[in-house]
Amino acid sequence: MMNPAEYLQAYDDQLRTDAETPSAIGVTRLGPLRLVTFAGGRGFITYRDLGGADQAGIAQLVTGALEYFRADPGVSRVEWKSRGHDEAPGLHAALLSNGFEADEAESIMIGPLAALCADVATPDGVTLRRVTSEADVRTMSATVDEAFGDAVDTRMADALLERVALGDGMELWVAEVAGRMVCGGRLEPVPGTDFVGIWGGATLADYRGRGIYRALTAARARSALAQGKTLVHSDSTEYSRPILERSGLIKVSTTTPYNWAR
């Protein structure tokens, strides 16, 4: 077992690199920033750190990054991924003044992968499976959107289907009750690291509290263990954080996405 400081160091060293964005179709550097373009018109801004920039320097980085994406008509939305433990004077104000909107903060959870599937039973009447067909992927994406309270975004389904076709290691898993998808999530093995990411997990409101999310997480963890991974990380909402804590993961920091739309 590692302590929280060791987990956070591993997170910064192993994950805040190109390993964070294996499905990128383009990456450009702007000082310490990595400006990433994904399929479906999505821009993404991330970094290992901000290079010690002061408030004025950070304001320039924000302006320059947004100018880069605004110049590409194919990009319709951009996310700046911030972390709570970074030294980033003035970042919040700079992002808001450039039209970004802060989303809810999430907990960065890290822990031993094996803990996620220890003593976890699949609830009666629940089927867990990996999906790859277009129909299943679109249904899963719509289910997760509904569970998060969002409008169905067909662009996300399109992007997931492109990744399934590429075979980049991502896995999509769902839980079904009486033939209906009620929970879904992604598994993202991070090449060249000890980590696997567990993302996008969400359960329809009427099916929460039955152990379905935990069972789906365990299924993903077993798949990752079979690939030789040992650590898991996840950006967790307040719905999933307590479940992951009970499975041995710990909160090492926070992450807040700031979103801009054209």
The answer, yes or no, to whether residue 26 has pLDDT greater than 90, is yes
The answer, yes or no, to whether residue 2 has pLDDT greater than 90, is no
Nearest CA to 23 out of 195, 138, 160 is that of 160
How does strand 126-131 pair with strand 250-261? unpaired
Q: Which of 13-17, 19-23, 78-82, 86-90 has the lowest mean pLDDT?
A: 19-23
Q: In angstroms, how far is CA 48 from the centroid of its own chain?
A: 16
The whole-angstrom separation of Cα 126 and Cα 182 is 9
Q: What are the pLDDT digits (tens) for 146-174? A: 999 999 989 889 989 998 998 889 999 99
Give, as one character, the DSSP assignment of residue 256.
Answer: E
Which residues make Cβ contacts (< 8 Å) with residue 245, sequence separation at least 6? 109, 251
The whole-angstrom separation of Cα 215 and Cα 227 is 19
Share above pLDDT 90 across residues of the chain, in percent, rounded to a whole number:
78
Cα three-residue angle 125-130-133, rounded to 5 degrees = 115
Q: Which of 54-58, 135-139, 229-233 has the lowest mean pLDDT?
A: 229-233
Which residues make Cβ contacts (< 8 Å) with residue 253, sequence separation at least 6? 8, 11, 83, 84, 85, 107, 108
Q: With bands split at pLDDT 50, 70 and 90, how would you rate the model's confidence at 118?
A: confident
Tokens encoding 17: 């690199």
State the average pLDDT for the chain.
94
Exposure class string for 99-112: b at 16+ Cβ within 10 A, else e: ebeeeeebbbbbbb
The predicted structure's pLDDT at residue 1: 63
- Which domains, from first to last, does the chain contain? 4-108 (3.40.630), 111-253 (3.40.630.30)
